[in-house]
Each structure stands twice: as C-alpha cells, then as structure tokens.
Structure 1
C-alpha cells in the first residue's frame, strides 16, 4: 500500500515580504555568513536565531581538513546558544547558504544532522521552532517546525 506524505511550508517571494523581525534575522544570517570558514567546500552558511527574550544569536559553518570535524552553521549557533542561554526557548531560526563565488536563488535547507539537532531542542522546549531557509536572493521558505522537514522523526520518546 502506497501512502502519501505531505509537508507544509510557506514560500515567501522575497526579502521585502518579510516582517521586521524576519528581516533582522535574514540580515544577521547574511552578515555572519561572511565569517564562515569554508576553506574546503567554499560553501558558506550563516545562521541567526531568535530567543524568546528577543536576543538574536548568530553562527556560521566552520570546516576542518579532517572531515567530518567541521560543524554546520545551524549546529554552531544552536549549541552555543544552549551553552550560554540554557533553558531559554528558541523561537525562530534563519539559515542562508550559497557558494562563495556564486549567487544561488535556491533556498538552502538545513542538512539532516542539523535537522536532528534542531529536533532535540524542539523536544526539550516542548515547542516548535520556526525555520526559515533562503539563498542570498529570491524566494525564502518557512516551516513552523523542524518536524515539517523531518516527518519521520527519531527522538528520545523511542528510547
């Protein structure tokens, strides 16, 4: 028997259609992307997240010659946030990625490892995290939870 799985996401046509908070997150992710260390892939990613206090935290991908020792922007940001703001809820997470030398108009989603890490934080805070992913120009995608990007999720409830 074949079953169909649907995910819900919003397609925001461009930067101008974002609200003021979303624009701040986009701008912060775009700016921190410039500090990515992507010596090997030359694919730079910036991440900005919004805490329930209104504070914005940023991070970028950090690669290493000894693969897979590097870390994606999303995990760099979320792990640092958890260490420095324990117990504070993450409301929104914005990711922007593209090759260093080319503009991509395709929204770049979090990788599988980042999705799984975000899921852990959603489960701990018992609340979804809005996830936005974008390129430097063009359309922006938004989900209300990482579960929309990871529909067959594995979490602590299985242990």
Structure 2
C-alpha cells in the first residue's frame, strides 16, 4: 500500500519578512557562530533556543582531533538545556552558520535528539533554519524526521 508524507513549512525569502521574535532568535544563532570551534571544516554553526520562560540559550559546534568526538551546535544546546532547564521547555530553536551561503539544516542525529526533546518536554519546538538571507521554519522537529527511532511502541 502506497502512503504519502506531506508537511507544511514557512519559507522567508528575506529575514525581514519573518516575525520579530524569530528574526531575533536567528540573530542570536548567528552570534553563536563566533563561539564555534571548527578548525578542520571551517564551517561554524550556531544555535539559539528560546525557552518558555523567555530565556535564550546558545550552542556552537565543536570539532575534535579525535573525530567523531565533536558535537553539533544544536545538540550541544539541547543537551545543556535538558541538563539545566528541563522544566522550561524549548519553544523555538534557530540554526545559523558561517559561511552562510545557504540555509543550515540539522543533521540526522540532531533531528533525532530534537524529537527526543519534544517527547520529553511533551510539546513541539519551532525549528528555524537560516542562511543566505533566507529561512525555512517548521512548527515541530518531528516534521524533519518522519520515521523517527523509538524504543517504545
């Protein structure tokens, strides 16, 4: 039996067209790229999350000489958030990169962890993927990984 998976997302041809709260979060993610440690790829990624309380948290990628011991910006941010603010759910997470020639999308591991965080906090998080002066937005990380891994049925 053939089935289809479709989802809606927002695309902004310019960041100025975005809601102010999203645009601000993208700016914070762009600032977080300055803290990235990417001596090998020279691809600096920053992430910023807005918690329900309004607090903004940051993450940056970190590359290690002992590959694959590095960590993506999104996962470093989410692990920090879950360890320190588990009772304050992530409402939105923005991703940016430098260089920023195109939108920056999360890797498969980050997508799975985003879904894990949504499950744990029992609420979706808005994911804003920015770059090149544009952005795409989904209302839930689960939309980025339709066939997610789960230990429970």
Runs of 4+ in 1 over 4 A off after TM superposition: none
* TM-score, normalisation: structure 2: 0.94
* Residue 5 (1) aligns with residue 1 (2): no
SS in structure 2 of the partner of residue 154 of structure 1: coil
State the alpha-carbon separation in 2 of the partners of residues 139 and 20 from structure 1: 14
The RMSD of aligned alpha carbons is 1.3
The unaligned stretches of length 5 or more in structure 2 are none
What is aligned with 2:147?
Answer: 152
SS in structure 1 of the partner of residue 129 of structure 2: strand
What is aligned with 2:22?
Answer: 22
SS in structure 1 of the partner of residue 80 of structure 2: helix
Deviation at 1:154, TM superposition (A): 1.7
The unaligned stretches of length 5 or more in structure 1 are none
> Which of 117, 121, 125 is residue 117 of structure 2 equivalent to?
121
Asked whether the 8 Å contact 1:52–1:88 carries over to 2, the reply is yes
* TM-score, normalisation: structure 1: 0.90
* Residue 139 (1) aligns with residue 134 (2): yes
